[in-house]
Structures are given as C-alpha cells and as structure tokens.
Amino acid sequence: MASGAAPPGTLYLVPNALDFGVAADAPLDDVLPLGVLRRAAALRHWIAENAKTTRAFLKRVDAIVPLAAPLQQIGIVELPRAPKGGAATAAADLTPLLAPLLEGNDAGLISEAGLPAVADPGAELVRAAHAASIPVHALPGPSALLLALAASGLHGQSFAFVGYLPIDAGARAQRIRELEALARRSGQTQLMIETPYRNQALLEALLATLQPATRLSVSCALTLPDGFTRSDSIAAWRAAPMRLPNDRPAVFALLA
C-alpha cells in the first residue's frame, strides 16, 4: 500500500440461506443472525456467484434491515465461471474484482447457498485478497455440510468432503467402494453432494454398492420446513427404501 493511501476495505464472507430461493417468503433472520443481516445491509459492493440471486437475497435482507443504498446503486460483480473440467480460476484473474476493496471500500462475497468458499466458489478470491493484504472476515451462518454431519450421528471428529461423485455408473461404483474402504481404514466420515435431480440416482448407487453394515446418512432440504435427516445402516435402508426429492439439495455421509 502506497504511503498516504487509504487502508483497504474488508472482504466479508456473507452466508446465504440454504433454500436456494424456494422459501423466499421465509424471513432470513430465521437462519441468519441479525448481526450478519446488518452487515450485509451496509455493504455497497458485492462479489457473487450469481448477480440475480444476490439481488433477491438483498431484497430479503432489506425486508428486515433497510439497505444502506437503493438496490440499483449497489455494485454486484460475478465470479468468473470455472472452465470446463473444474480447473480453478487463477488468483491473478480475480484481481480486478478486488478494486473496490483496494480503494478502501468493504465488500461482501456470497454464494448461492451457505458459506462462501466452503464447498462453493470463492476460495481463490479469498486467496487473492490475502495476497493483496486485504482483511478477510467470515460471518457466521449455516453450512449444509456441518449441519448434515452434526445430524448424522457419524464420526464428527474426523471427516472429509469429497464433492461430487462420477456420473458414469461404473466409475461412481468404484469411487463409492474406495470411499468405503477409506472410511473403514481411517474411521473418517465421508461427505458428498449431488445435483438435486440426481439425488435418487446417487442414493440407489450407494445402496447397491456399500456393505450392509456401513452406515449412511442423508440430510435433505436442511433448514426448510420439509427438511430431514435419515441415518441408518445400509441393511436398514434396503429394508425400508425411500425416494428423495429431485428439487431439494442433499448431503450424503457414509462411515464403514
């Protein structure tokens, strides 16, 4: 920072609700602390996964804590889309997004649901902020992974998030067997997610591949009125199968 220049602003990692907008009429203060809503209402600069849904989020904030500026005057820029193949966007590509912060303005980073940069885009931006000596402050809010783990009854002292499993049936079954073997060796809970319309396909693959004594927990629609967690052995799941909704996010956890 040049001599006499204003200190940089703070990058706030702002949690979002887990409802992906399907419960837009539900007050945000049911799931987000009032202090987080006050901070969000004060921010005039945002870096978002999706500008449209961020505007919808800010309208919900405004219903509880008035925004510091009209929505039309709040700047929202989107994170670059990751290239096909899932390669991360280089931190240098994100430097222009930090301009308001380097000018001394605070800004918020927000994802589609839950905590930004945890099983969501944003980690590279946070890394770039640290490299530019910009303060980073994570605000408290719901994380689907941790809520699902807490509700699962599986090992909460050692766990890993493995993201999405392969779509190809053979590769997916092989990956499930690998994760089961890892969980058995290490005693480590393995957490994964799937695109909602493939929830049932993943559940059926898990039930077909895992050993009867392995425990499987599924948490669906967390924080929503119809949300639930079912945690049981594979044998019990097979004895009483169920269908998962194809329009609600779910977190799957297994422990052998």
Indicate the pLDDT class of residue 3, thresholds 50, 70 and 90.
Answer: low
pLDDT digits (tens, 9 = 90+) for 104-132: 999 999 999 899 998 888 999 999 999 99
- Residue, of 87 and 172, whose pLDDT is higher: 172
Residue 32 pLDDT greater than 70, yes or no: yes
| Residue with tokens 């994100």, as numbered in its chain | 94
Residue 21 pLDDT greater than 90, yes or no: no
Nearest 5°: the CA angle 105, 79, 1 is 35
Domains identified in the chain and CATH numbers = 11-138 (3.40.1010.10), 144-255 (3.30.950.10)
Residue 155 pLDDT greater than 60, yes or no: yes
173, two tokens: 């079954």
Strand partners, 218: 230, 252
| Residue with tokens 């978002």, as numbered in its chain | 48
Q: What integer is the mean pLDDT of 176-180?
A: 98
CB neighbour class for 78 (10 Å; exposed up to 12, middle 13-18, buried from 19): middle
- In sequence order, what are the residues at sequence separation of 6 or more whose Cβ sits closer than 8 angstroms to the Cβ of residue 5? none
**How far apart, in whole angstroms, are the C-alpha atoms of residue 59 and residue 96?**
26
pTM over 0.75: yes
CB neighbour class for 156 (10 Å; exposed up to 12, middle 13-18, buried from 19): exposed
Residue 256 pLDDT greater than 60, yes or no: yes
**How far apart, in whole angstroms, are the C-alpha atoms of residue 174 and residue 9?**
47
Q: Report strand pairing: 11-13 vs 107-110.
A: parallel
Residue 85 pLDDT greater than 50, yes or no: no
Residue 9 pLDDT greater than 90, yes or no: yes
pLDDT at residue 92, rounded to an integer: 46
pLDDT at residue 84, rounded to an integer: 47
pLDDT digits (tens, 9 = 90+) for 181-233: 999 999 999 999 999 999 999 999 999 999 999 999 999 999 998 999 999 99
Question: Which residue, 213, 221, 157, is CA-closest to 189?
Answer: 157
